[in-house]
């Protein structure tokens, strides 16, 4: 007597899988649409924006919840810009779902389709950052342009979400979270681009094998050694030259030229930070990681090491130091 119910449940599951597969195929078609093919999707509206910026005209792509971005294009690139506009709108829908973004009518980063090698976007406090999608002389997307469209842009849009409340978390969080979410979008719309991104990170990590990651120090600012040496006694200076680990005590004065950011071993760090977020998803589930990311970026100002430790313990029951120490760059999970 239960067989009919089981058959109905199995049919519904099969139907659901078919529907998801059809949506994925549609999304990939949107993001590979050839020049001249203007694809449309319910809920994504593409309209011409009035005015022009020299030879550059623009489109407005609006998605679910009123989220939108501006697409700029030069005359040669107009056809491909219109062909891929729906892809850009679909990215916004996916990003809103994956980040839990509840903003209504939010503007995301802009793009410009252009074959001008020397193109420089306008910059300033009132300008929204504009990512260049490269085209060739005939207005077709180059390989680099496709990668920017489907791999670089999703990652960068996550950074815009992270900065929505002017929070300043540590670099390992910013890049790990952006890579984790961005790759989910890339997997959906362009799996070849996602695979290439993973491969580049893995190859870079392999080349740096054995070098310390120090994710906690990634992006930190520290004084140059010579800036300290010129302010210490002859005795301390001689000791610093003998012992690279010696740090003299006392107060110092530094200018902007005396400071450097810790951006060493950068590809391996991207790889390890991505692996960290993927590991958290495996062990705690995607929603727990999304909740952690939303809370970490919900308040303006610098997220201190103590605050970061508090958030990591709250969501994953482990200290931040232990979490970072247990990160290995040897591989990332799919």
pLDDT tens digits, 7-58 = 555 555 555 677 789 999 999 999 999 998 888 888 999 999 998 899 999 9
Tell me whether residue 216 is in a domain: yes
pLDDT value of residue 83: 97
Decide if pLDDT at 64 tops 90. no
Which of 117, 149, 164 terminates a domain? The answer is: 164
Cβ pair 117, 77 in contact under 8 A: no
Tell me whether residue 184 is in a domain: no
Predicted TM-score (pTM) above 0.85: no
Q: Pairing mode, if any, of strands 110-114 and 45-53? A: unpaired
Closest C-alpha to 299, from 165, 161, 163: 165
pLDDT value of residue 222: 66
Tell me whether residue 175 is in a domain: no
Tell me whether residue 64 is in a domain: yes
pLDDT value of residue 331: 40
Q: What is the C-alpha end-to-end distance of the chain, expressed in Å?
A: 41
For 62, the domain range is 31-164
CA 315 to centroid of chain Cα atoms = 22
Burial 64-86 (b: 16+ CB within 10 A, else e): ebebbbbbbbbebbbbbbbbbbb
Average pLDDT, the chain: 89
Tell me whether residue 21 is in a domain: no
| Residue the block writes with tokens 């903003």 | 103
Q: Reduced to 3 DSSP states, what percent helix, strand and coil does the chain have, rounded to the nearest 5?
A: 55, 15, 35
Which of 147, 164, 181 terminates a domain? The answer is: 164
135 & 210 share domain: no
**Rounded Cα–Cα distance for residues 103 and 39 (Å):** 26
Number of domains in the chain: 2
Tell me whether residue 7 is in a domain: no
59 & 136 share domain: yes
pLDDT value of residue 238: 87
Query: 141 has which bridge partners?
Result: 135
Q: Pairing mode, if any, of strands 221-223 and 259-261? A: antiparallel
Highest mean pLDDT among 18-22, 152-156, 321-325: 152-156
215 & 138 share domain: no
48 & 151 share domain: yes
270 & 158 share domain: no
């Amino acid at each position: 007597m239960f067989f009919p119910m089981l058959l109905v449940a199995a049919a519904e599951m099969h139907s659901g899988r078919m529907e998801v597969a059809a949506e994925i195929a549609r999304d990939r078609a949107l993001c590979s649409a050839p020049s001249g093919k203007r694809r449309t999707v319910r809920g994504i509206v593409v309209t011409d924006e009035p005015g022009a910026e020299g030879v550059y005209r623009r489109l407005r792509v609006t998605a679910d919840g009123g989220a939108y971005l501006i697409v700029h294009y030069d005359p040669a690139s107009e056809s491909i810009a219109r062909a891929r506009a729906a892809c850009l709108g679909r990215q916004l829908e996916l990003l809103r779902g994956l980040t839990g973004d509840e903003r209504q009518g939010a503007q995301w980063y802009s793009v410009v389709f252009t074959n001008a090698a020397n193109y420089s976007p306008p910059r300033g406090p009132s300008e929204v950052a504009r990512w260049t999608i490269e085209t060739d002389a005939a207005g077709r997307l180059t390989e680099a342009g496709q990668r920017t469209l489907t791999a670089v842009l999703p990652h960068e849009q996550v950074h815009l979400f992270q900065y929505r409340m002017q929070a300043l978390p540590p670099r390992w969080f910013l890049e790990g979270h952006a890579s984790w979410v961005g790759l989910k979008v890339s997997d959906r719309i362009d799996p070849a681009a996602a695979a290439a991104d993973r491969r580049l990170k893995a190859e870079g990590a392999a080349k740096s094998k054995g070098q310390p990651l120090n994710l906690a120090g990634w992006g930190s600012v520290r004084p140059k050694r010579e800036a300290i040496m010129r302010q210490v006694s002859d005795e301390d200076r001689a000791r610093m030259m003998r012992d690279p680990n010696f740090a003299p005590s006392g107060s110092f004065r530094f200018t902007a030229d005396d400071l450097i950011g810790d951006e060493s071993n950068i590809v391996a760090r991207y790889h390890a930070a991505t692996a960290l977020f993927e590991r958290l998803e495996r062990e705690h589930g995607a929603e727990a990681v999304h909740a952690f990311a939303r809370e970490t970026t919900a308040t303006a100002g610098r997220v201190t090491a103590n605050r970061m430790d508090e958030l990591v313990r709250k969501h994953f029951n482990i200290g931040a130091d232990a979490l970072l120490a247990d990160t290995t760059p040897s591989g990332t999970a799919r």
